Amino acid sequence: MDLFENYDQQPKILSDILNQYDLENMTYKNCKEMLQKVNEIGYTFEYGLDAEPFNLHNIKTKEIETLNKKLIERLNETHRAIDSALETMDEMGLNLKETDFYQEIAAELAPNETLLREIEASNKDKEEKELEDAMDKVTIDMINNLAHGEDQELNKTYVISKYIEDDVIVIVKTEEWEEVLQVMTNGDKVEFESLV
C-alpha cells in the first residue's frame, strides 16, 4: 500500500516529516533528504529521475512480502521434490503412500500446505485488487492524451504505456515489466484484452 496515496493511514510521525516538503514540486535533492528522514523512522519510498516520490511504505511490510514470496518458493520446491521421490518409488514398485512413514510425513506437511495455499490466495487477491484498481483509473481522456512512448503510473504495481511508434496501449506490471492487458476504446467505453 502506497502511503502517499493512502495518506489517511500515515502515522503522525510520518506525516509530520512529509508536511515539511512540497510533494508536488520535489527535487532530486529533496527526495534524497526526505528518504533519509523517513528511513530513520522505519519507512521508505522510491523516486525516479522526475523526482516524483512513490510507493511509500513501512520497511517491515515490504520485508514480510519478500519473506512470503521466499516461503512460497521454498515450500513449492519441497513439495516438488517429495512428489518426484514418490513417483520414482511408485515406478519401482514401492507403494510408500500406504506406509506409516508416509502418513507421518504427510501429517507434518499438511500445515505447511495449508499455509502455502493461504499465502498464495492472499497474494492472488492482492494482485487482482491492484489490477482492478489500475483498470478503474483508466479513462478515455487518459488514453487520448497519452503520448507515444509515455508511461503513466496507475498504482504502485501497474502503469499504462503507449508504444513509441504504434498506437498500441497496454497496462504493464512494473516489477517484471510484463504487459498484462491491452487497452482499447469502443466509442466512449474503455475495453481491456488480456495478454497473459
Whether residue 82 is found in the same domain as residue 150: no
DSSP 1: -
Whether residue 88 is found in the same domain as residue 178: no
Residue 112 located in a structural domain = no
* DSSP states along 172-188: EETTTTEEEEEEEEETT
- What backbone torsions phi and psi does residue 151 show, to the nearest 5 degrees? -115, 135
Whether residue 22 is found in the same domain as residue 93: yes
- What value does the mean pLDDT take over residues 33-43? 88
Condensed to tens digits (0 to 9), the pLDDT of residues 52-72 reads 999 998 877 666 677 677 777
Residue 120 located in a structural domain = no
pLDDT band of residue 161 (cuts 50, 70, 90) is: very high
DSSP 9: G
Whether residue 82 is found in the same domain as residue 164: no
Q: Per-residue b/e over 136-168, b at no fewer than 16 CB within 10 Å? A: eebeeeebeebeeeeeebbbbbbbbbbeeeeee
Q: Residue 114 pLDDT more than 80? A: no
- What value does the mean pLDDT take over residues 103-126? 71
Among 80, 98, 116, identify where a domain stops.
98
> Which residue range(s) make up the domain with 184?
136-194
Question: Model-level pTM?
Answer: 0.45
Residue 116 located in a structural domain = no
Residue 9 located in a structural domain = yes
- Overall domain count for the chain: 2
